[in-house]
Amino acid sequence: MLTVEQITACGVEKIEALKIAETVNRLLSTQSPTACWYELSRYILTPQHPFALHQLLYETVYADFDRATYGPPPAWFPTDEDITVANITRLMMELAIKTYPEFHAWSVDNRDTFWQMMIDTLGIKTVDTNTKAQKDATGTATYLAKLNIVDSCFSTPHDATAIIAQREDDENLVTLSYGELACLTNRVANGLVDLGLKQGDAVAIDMPMNAESVAIYLGIVKAGCAVVAIADSFAPDEIATRLRIGKAKAIFTQDYINRTGKRLPLYEKVIAADAPKAIVSSCEGSDTVAQLQREGDITWDNFLSDTETFTAVPCDPDAPTNILFSSGTTGEPKAIPWTHTTPIKCAADAYLHHDIHPGDVLAWYTNLGWMMGPWLIYASLINRATIALYDGVPTGREFGVFVQNAKVTMLGVVPTLVRAWKNTDCMQGLEWHAIRVFSSTGECSNPDEMLYLMFLAGYKPVIEYCGGTEIGGAYVTGTRVQPAAPSTFTTPALGLDFSLYDDNGEPTRNGEVFISPPSLGLSTTLLNADHNEVYFAWTPGANLRRHGDAIEQLGNGFDTEPWLEGVKYRVLGRVDDTMNLSGIKVSSAEIEEVLNVLSEIQETAAVSVSPKDGGPSQLIIYAVLAASESEPAKHEIHDALQAELSQHLNPLFRIHDVVIVDSLPRTASNKVMRRLLRDRL
């Protein structure tokens, strides 16, 4: 029984507490836990109630739920209307399939038919079409011939809104129609031709995610070139590495980035990276001429062509459109090419798993150097939706006001961001009623924080979304036709499947993920590594692709309620020496290469651990100090390591702790045993 005192302790007035206690106790005595929570979350609890009350009722209702076995209980359930209008349901009806598990099984058993169905459903445009299905480089049979994927981004009426944007120092929303975005894209493509760039050339972008960078991205691809994607947070050394690997012939950048009133130089970092010809825009807008510091660089205004029409360059489906970077086993990041078919995976995941409809507004605070930047472009535009872009810091209330005013319907997050909102309570009281779905990726999430995220919008589902740059989307995720439990996944992504194996290569319910190809979106080559060695060598079975995540398969724990039948999954982190920090995948070797140059350091080992209550990984550095007459204090070592990491790799990476040791454990072949170090922690 729930007491009035428990409710008032959450900050609720006594009169209201009496009513809530009476209602909850009545429901608990007459209904199942799921029915009880459904009633409370939809009709009793509101975002205006303290979150402590939401937590209390959730824990009370599910007090007897076996979380150790089944994970967190569901916090959101689809209504009959949710299921009826879902894109998944429409396709199931066309195929006369009655249940979601049957639909997923069909999509895996009939992969070529499934992907061709998605190509047709999304309206992917081609220059010509083969009459006979051909296998593309991923092993998937399609009828695609030559195409340029940008053509498929502009199937919406010209007056529909393509982008809603806001800068943190400006309260006004700026909109760009599909017609205006198409014109700006064409001016970029023509400008590239005027510079002498040709089909197949690589062009880098090192800019924040704004309307101009979206047009630049699309213009490069439309001209038949490939984007070299660089996160605007990277230090000059890392910019230089990506320019070299991607063989960029030019780079788009910005004079500086404005964050909380501070001007953070960007063009200067590009110069320090010895970048090729730079096209420099101004943070203050196109009417302000950027100050150029090198001969040969040009301003954004002088670059743009006046010609607003451009015929997209036809390309082979496997031609590169984007060079993205992910962690490798060495200090050099893996260079992963996306092709003209990779965006089909992005758009399909958005259409199916996020249930995106024309006119939806999608916001995901990201940049073009992370796969979710290109994902957001394609997921929105191919699905005839709107991109919502906030050029500022997303941790404060100003970002939440933007989400409210832009009427965002799908809000993507990194778990670290949700933790910041919860700790400061900065989003309390905002009207996020337009949100239909959240999505979370980049890091392992915490159930309490994901429950908090649902609470902010009056209980909307969080689609956990886990995949990678080399997948073009997710391999495990959720849907809006299945219940959502915080921090858990409900299904392998449609069109592919995966298996779990233990260290001995035996099937298990808790082990390493191996994907079963083929699927559109899966990479087929790396620019600077052996693709087969990275993904297919030494796998536990034929036709299995290594991914590196550890997953636990759970049951639902609702044997008496068949409509909840199914499985859930919980991602446990990485099994290799890579980690996700602030939503960015990075390898131990990349971090150690930066830190080992310090004179005070003999060698380091970087590992990540998950907090006991779950959530984003924490970076721990084991350090062996160089011999010296006086040993520096631990906090001095921490500060020196943090400064080096921020200056030469990424200022978003934060060191949680430093452990000073006499030596690092090694194998007989002299490899550092980072798994042993993780186990110690």
Q: Please, where are the H alpha helices in 457-540?
A: 531-535
> Is the Cβ–Cβ distance between 75 and 462 less than 8 Å?
no
Q: What is the DSSP letter of 562?
A: G
Kindly write down the DSSP assignment for every residue of 200-226, as one continuous string.
Answer: T-EEEEES-SSHHHHHHHHHHHHTT-E
What does the block give as tokens for 139? Answer: 């092993």
More confident residue, 666 or 607: 607
Distance CA 475, CA 108 (A): 12
Mapping DSSP to helix (H, G, I), strand (E, B) and coil, where does residue 73 land? coil
**Mean pLDDT on 84-104:** 96
Mapping DSSP to helix (H, G, I), strand (E, B) and coil, where does residue 80 land? helix
For 580-680, the fitting CATH number among 3.40.50.1370, 3.30.300.30, 3.40.50.300, 1.10.150.20 is 3.30.300.30
What does the block give as tokens for 465? Answer: 């979304």
Give me the pLDDT at residue 445, please.
87
Give me the pLDDT at residue 651, please.
84
In this predicted structure, the answer to whether residue 291 has a pLDDT above a threshold of 70 is yes
> Is the Cβ–Cβ distance between 190 and 305 less than 8 Å?
yes
More confident residue, 593 or 417: 417
CA 356 and chain centroid, separation: 16
Distance CA 497, CA 512 (A): 14
**Mean pLDDT on 204-225:** 97
CB atoms within 10 A of CB 303: 22
Confidence of residue 286 (pLDDT cuts 50, 70, 90): low
* Average pLDDT for the chain: 91
Mapping DSSP to helix (H, G, I), strand (E, B) and coil, where does residue 61 land? helix
Side chain identity at residue 466, one-letter code: C
Write the CB contacts of 446 (distance below 8 Å, at least 6 apart in sequence). Answer: 415, 419, 487, 611, 613, 614, 615, 616
Confidence of residue 610 (pLDDT cuts 50, 70, 90): confident
Strand order through the sheet with 655-660: 601-609, 618-625, 655-660
The upper half-sphere exposure of residue 560, i.e. CA atoms within 13 Å in the direction of its Cβ, equals 5
Residue with tokens 């808790």: 510
In the chain, where are the structural domains located? Answer: 4-64, 151-567, 580-680
> Is the Cβ–Cβ distance between 454 and 464 less than 8 Å?
no
Distance CA 365, CA 511 (A): 31
In this predicted structure, the answer to whether residue 188 has a pLDDT above a threshold of 70 is yes
Strand order through the sheet with 466-468: 466-468, 473-477, 491-492
In this predicted structure, the answer to whether residue 671 has a pLDDT above a threshold of 70 is no
Distance CA 179, CA 187 (A): 12
> What is the C-alpha end-to-end distance of the chain, expressed in Å?
40
Confidence of residue 90 (pLDDT cuts 50, 70, 90): very high
Pairing of strands 618-625, 601-609: antiparallel
| pTM, to two decimals | 0.88
**Most trustworthy range by pLDDT among 324-338, 433-447, 564-578:** 433-447
**Mean pLDDT on 64-79:** 91
Confidence of residue 564 (pLDDT cuts 50, 70, 90): low
Side chain identity at residue 351, one-letter code: Y
Q: Which of 665, 660, 628 is closest to 641 using CA atoms?
A: 660
Q: Which of 646, 679, 655, 549 is closest to 604 using CA atoms?
A: 655
Give me the pLDDT at residue 519, please.
95
**Mean pLDDT on 44-64:** 95
Pairing of strands 248-254, 226-229: unpaired
Give me the pLDDT at residue 668, please.
47
Distance CA 604, CA 591 (A): 9
Pairing of strands 174-177, 161-167: antiparallel
At the top level of CATH, the class of 151-567 is alpha beta
In this predicted structure, the answer to whether residue 436 has a pLDDT above a threshold of 50 is yes
Q: How many helices (H) and strands (E) does the chain have?
A: 23, 30
Query: CA 307 → CA 194, 200, 609, distances in Å?
Result: 11, 22, 53
Give me the pLDDT at residue 650, please.
85
Side chain identity at residue 151, one-letter code: D
User: Considering Cα of 379, then 232, then 242, then 548, what sign does the dihedral take?
Assistant: negative
What does the block give as tokens for 308? Answer: 């607003």
Side chain identity at residue 346, one-letter code: C
Distance CA 304, CA 193 (A): 11
More confident residue, 232 or 583: 232
> Is the Cβ–Cβ distance between 103 and 91 less than 8 Å?
yes
Distance CA 552, CA 592 (A): 30
| 30-44, 138-152, 347-361: the lowest-pLDDT one | 138-152
What does the block give as tokens for 658? Answer: 């430093």
In this predicted structure, the answer to whether residue 16 has a pLDDT above a threshold of 80 is yes
What does the block give as tokens for 169? Answer: 């120092």
> Is the Cβ–Cβ distance between 163 and 386 less than 8 Å?
yes
Give me the pLDDT at residue 632, please.
87
Side chain identity at residue 534, one-letter code: V
pLDDT in tens, 630-645: 788 888 899 999 999 9
Confidence of residue 201 (pLDDT cuts 50, 70, 90): very high
Distance CA 207, CA 369 (A): 9
Query: Which conformational region is residue 493 in: left (phi greater than 0), alpha (psi within -120 to 50 degrees), or beta?
Result: beta
Distance CA 213, CA 185 (A): 10
Q: Which residues pair with residue 516 across a beta bridge?
A: 497
Q: Which of 378, 351, 388, 372 is closest to 221 using CA atoms?
A: 378
Q: Would you mind telling me the total number of residues written for the chain in this entry?
A: 681
Give me the pLDDT at residue 22, please.
95
Mapping DSSP to helix (H, G, I), strand (E, B) and coil, where does residue 578 land? strand
Query: CA 377 → CA 72, 123, 210, 288, distances in Å?
Result: 33, 16, 11, 27
